[in-house]
Structure 1
Amino acid sequence: MKLLTPVGVYRLLFVICRYGINLMALLKLAAGSHRHRVALSDDHETLTYQQLLDQAECLAVQLREQYGLGSRSKAGLLCRNHASLVKSIFALSMTGADIYLMNAEMSSDQFAQLLDAHAFDFLIYDEELTAFIRQSTFKGASVLSYHENLPAISNMIHGPLSRSSRGQRNSNSKLMLLTGGTTGRAKEVAHKPSLFHYLPPFSSMLERLRLLQYKTVYIATPIYHGYGIAILLLFVALGKKSVVTSIFQAEHACRLVREHQAEVITVVPLMIDKMLRASNSGGDLKSLACIASGGAELNPRLAEEVSAKLGEVLYNLYGTSEAGLCIIASPQDLDAASGTIGKLIEGVGLKVLDGSMHEAAAGVIGQFCVKSGSTWIKTGDMGYRDEKGYFFLKGRADDMIVSAGENVYPSELEHILFQHPFIEYAAVVGVPDEQFGQRLKAVVQLKAGTELNAETLIEWLRPRVARYQMPREIVFVDRIAYTPLGKVDRKQLH
């Protein structure tokens, strides 16, 4: 970004003095260097960096003057991926308000819990969620993301800005990530803009994913997820073009990649799996040089298929809401160690700890824990590190079962089931068992045009799995349930 040159230092100090330390300052820096370059393209419009900056600044003034937003205000965003969401994030940061990015697929019960916990002052939401909002207990001020006549972000982004209306600089805004799926109780994680805190993961992404070489990213993952917002802010910092769309559909996603000649795409594994099947054997995806997969476990079979059709373009990323990006696997890492999530980013505090919170030896399964201050926080993810420094996931701590005294991880059986030539998708959960305490139950989705029964599959499994890994029950379904983030919906499986 050339911030350490004399001119770069001057620009940085000028922007901080003008805006404070917030996300708008990041956008101002990018617009200063890439004024006429395309910053954002969505289903509604295409914006240059100068246009995005002007509209976000105008919106910030409107939000401050019409709704009184400022430091200590709480603003919730319940939106899918689109330009109004992006403008709102930058504008709210300029007002000093805390920005709560909420899952647009959350349940009414989870939304009620958030309202009780946070007492939002302001809400921005998509029109299709109008009934959802009206049926809730929220009584504060709110606007739509888009509307022709009603108060909406799309109607608040134009107008002259006088010097006096711009307001004072602000460094109080925090970005609040709300994790916990679509039905469970959300966990709040705060992120305050900091130049130095995020340098190690961003530097590693630039180096290992070679992002400086590319011009366009298609952010297919939700921006309200930590993974999506991180990529958006990184590409804004680099002055690159970001492409977003409100709803992921494999055919449409392939068309966006082809039309924009996107070199980078952010996905969960299920997305790229569906895109491969909708892309004419990968033909629509030939421009992709970096597929950044994260948010869910990557199946080795899918990694091999991507490599065969598109070359060495697949990267596997692992991060947490608390620590951000922690581990990266390059295509070469995936070739060297099938199923790995990669090696630890330098400067990131993550260890595999046993039940006594001592570091586990190489090859020993424990829980991934991230360092926060002087303490280690459990992530809930189980896995191990091998002698070469490669990390491997074994699933969530609450997914593990104990069968006849053995610790059993459903993901191990899932990986084996994926090797069967007739199986499209497979998911495994633990179920109660009178004799062994717990056993595994496998839910299987077959490839189109194939036939398989439980008895035949059991015989195929016998030489491939240990006795305690053998499923007690196999259920064949037309379609396995996934969450909107592309993870297996284990609650529905149970």
Structure 2
Amino acid sequence: MAEIKHDFLTWPWQRWAAERPSDIAISLGDKEHDVQTYTWADVSSNVDDYAQGLVEQGVKRDQLVAVIADNSIQVLWLMLAIFRVGARYVGLNPKLSSSELQQQLVILDNDYIWSDSEHDLTALTGQNIVLQLPTVARMVPVTWQEHRPMTLTLTSGSSGLPKAVVHNAESHLASASGLLSQMTFTAKDSWLLSLPLFHISGLAIVWRWLYRGACLVIVEKEQQQQALHWVTHASLVPTQLQRLLDSIDNTATPSSMMLKQVLLGGAHIPVTLTDKAHSAGISCWCGYGMTEMASTISAKQANDSSGVGNVLPNRELLLRDGEILVRGKSLCLGYYRNHTIFSILDNHGHDGEWFATKDMGEWHDDELFIHGRADNMFISGGENVQPEDIEAVLLQYPEIEQAVVLPIDDYDFGQRPVAILKTTCPMDAVFIDHVMTYMADKVAAFKRPIRYLALPDGDIYQGIKLSRTKLANWLSKQ
């Protein structure tokens, strides 16, 4: 499928409102039942109205608005209205404690804040705003400029300290067009907003919707599993897809579901799962991406190879001493600190145009394979150990759903690996003994975990990903 340039000369929703005003742009449920929908004309009108409401509350160009909320139509209106007035949007995880949110807001030094949760906004940084219609309808004067910074997304490095990654519309649209040059998504299709808008994967769904002028489906979290039966596209983790396939009645036929394409991420993807999805008429895609590159960098239709496919259009990738370097139109503007955007490019040596990802990889048969993070590697008995290599083997074991391998200090070896697991059965002595026997046949002795622990409950996530830093702190207390 050939790449299609967007060439937006105005705000994307205004373009679609002019070309296809009566087409459904947003659905808050199953379009075939009596649910609320919005046409592109509605979207354009509502965004302008809410943008004027922000102007009346004093929001100005280049100011930063922090939004603390789960996905909803209100958050979407607010985000698009923030873009419309030339301000900048940053989403924060509503599950964080007030002290954690305050820490992030101090770093951001945001101008305004909005939340739909029970957090006490008076104790948080930023002037409160409300989502309201204007008292007098007027035209918002800010015009479409794809080079203006629009979004900040918090991502965490090995230190655990959040970095605010800045993107403009150009990088978001370049990311969308590159993926959709390979993955079919038309104006007649619908994509479920299944990932949070404080994460780059959630933002990527919105920009794919804007790029194609398709339909965006927004439902409550409790309805998302049901919504997978009547959307055409979704971004999921393997367990969500497994639950969907398990829910299909034995008498159902593939035509009873509208779902056609799934972009998988976040965990090991079993071939048996993607094969079963294919039998149900669902094409599964997997790949490699990061916040700094506005989501997906490489992708492919899932198969029995553990690789992550080929580099998508609008991106470039090279390996330097095994480390992955990237650049291209989807690369972010930089990191935001002290009201300034600082470049993330490698200015030391070579041509100074590449972003060093700290991810390690290699090419095999024109396909990229990821080995893990350079800053996760440790040395055991003089041997380099990449935790992700061990995790990949553990995830092949049928009853293991999640696996994180971390080092602990050892007098003789320097450091030894410990495996922290989430399993579908009790982690008793018999189970651990079976896993140890399995690992003895699969990996070298210096890579075998010396302890197996159950994944703890509590705050162990950074955004939507397991936090190695938080798990390491927990492990140090065991």
Shorter chain as normaliser: what TM range?
Answer: 0.7 to 0.9
Quote the residue 1:433 is aligned against.
Answer: 410
Indicate conservation of the 8 Å contact 1:76/1:99, yes or no. yes
* 1:158-173 equivalent positions in 2, closer than 5 A: 161-162=137-138, 165-169=139-143, 171=145, 172=148
* 1:377-396 equivalent positions in 2, closer than 5 A: 377-386=355-364, 388-396=365-373
- Given the alignment, which residue of 59, 67, 72 partners 2:62? 72
- Given the alignment, which residue of 222, 226, 244 partners 1:255? 226
Quote the residue 1:130 is aligned against.
Answer: 119
Shift of 1:237: 2.6
Indicate conservation of the 8 Å contact 1:93/1:174, yes or no. yes
Quote the residue 1:342 is aligned against.
Answer: 309
Quote the residue 1:304 is aligned against.
Answer: 272
- Given the alignment, which residue of 34, 38, 41 partners 2:20? 34
Higher helix fraction (1 or 2): 1
Quote the residue 2:206 is aligned against.
Answer: 232
Structure 2: distance between partners of 1:170 and 1:421: 51
Output one character per residue of 1:359-403: Cα deviation in whole Å (capped at 9) or x when no partner: xxxxxxx322223483332223222222x2211222223322211
Structure 2: distance between partners of 1:177 and 1:426: 26
3-state DSSP of counterpart to 1:55: helix
Cα distance, 1:424–1:123 mapped onto 2, change above 3 Å: closer
Shift of 1:241: 1.0
Shift of 1:274: 4.9
Cα distance, 1:98–1:446 mapped onto 2, change above 3 Å: closer
Shift of 1:87: 0.9
The root-mean-square deviation of aligned C-alpha atoms, in Å, is 3.4
3-state DSSP of counterpart to 1:322: helix
3-state DSSP of counterpart to 1:203: helix
3-state DSSP of counterpart to 1:330: strand
3-state DSSP of counterpart to 1:428: strand
Quote the residue 1:266 is aligned against.
Answer: 235
- Letter of the aligned partner of 2:62 in structure 1? R
Cα distance, 1:72–1:458 mapped onto 2, change above 3 Å: closer
Indicate conservation of the 8 Å contact 2:408/2:418, yes or no. yes
- The answer to whether residue 320 in structure 2 is matched with residue 369 in structure 1 is no
- Letter of the aligned partner of 1:401 in structure 2? F
Structure 2: distance between partners of 1:328 and 1:276: 26
- The answer to whether residue 169 in structure 2 is matched with residue 177 in structure 1 is no
- Letter of the aligned partner of 1:308 in structure 2? K
- Given the alignment, which residue of 146, 155, 168 partners 1:192? 168
3-state DSSP of counterpart to 1:299: coil
Higher strand fraction (1 or 2): 2
* 1:418-457 equivalent positions in 2, closer than 5 A: 418-448=395-425, 452-457=430-435
* 1:48-197 equivalent positions in 2, closer than 5 A: 48-65=39-56, 67-126=57-116, 128-131=117-120, 133-136=121-124, 138=125, 140-143=126-129, 152-153=130-131, 156-157=132-133, 161-162=137-138, 165-169=139-143, 171=145, 172=148, 174-180=150-156, 184-194=160-170
Cα distance, 1:75–1:446 mapped onto 2, change above 3 Å: closer
Indicate conservation of the 8 Å contact 2:52/2:134, yes or no. no
Cα distance, 1:471–1:168 mapped onto 2, change above 3 Å: closer
Structure 2: distance between partners of 1:275 and 1:282: 15
Indicate conservation of the 8 Å contact 2:378/2:415, yes or no. yes
Quote the residue 1:470 is aligned against.
Answer: 448
Output one character per residue of 1:273-299: Cα deviation in whole Å (capped at 9) or x when no partner: 4544555689699432111123x3x41
Q: Percent identity?
A: 21
Cα distance, 1:437–1:56 mapped onto 2, change above 3 Å: same
Indicate conservation of the 8 Å contact 2:401/2:422, yes or no. yes
- The answer to whether residue 289 in structure 2 is matched with residue 319 in structure 1 is yes
Indicate conservation of the 8 Å contact 1:109/1:183, yes or no. no
Structure 2 gap segments, 5+ residues each: 30-34, 328-344, 346-350
- Given the alignment, which residue of 291, 294, 300 partners 2:262? 291
Structure 1 gap segments, 5+ residues each: 16-24, 144-151, 355-365
Shift of 1:316: 0.9
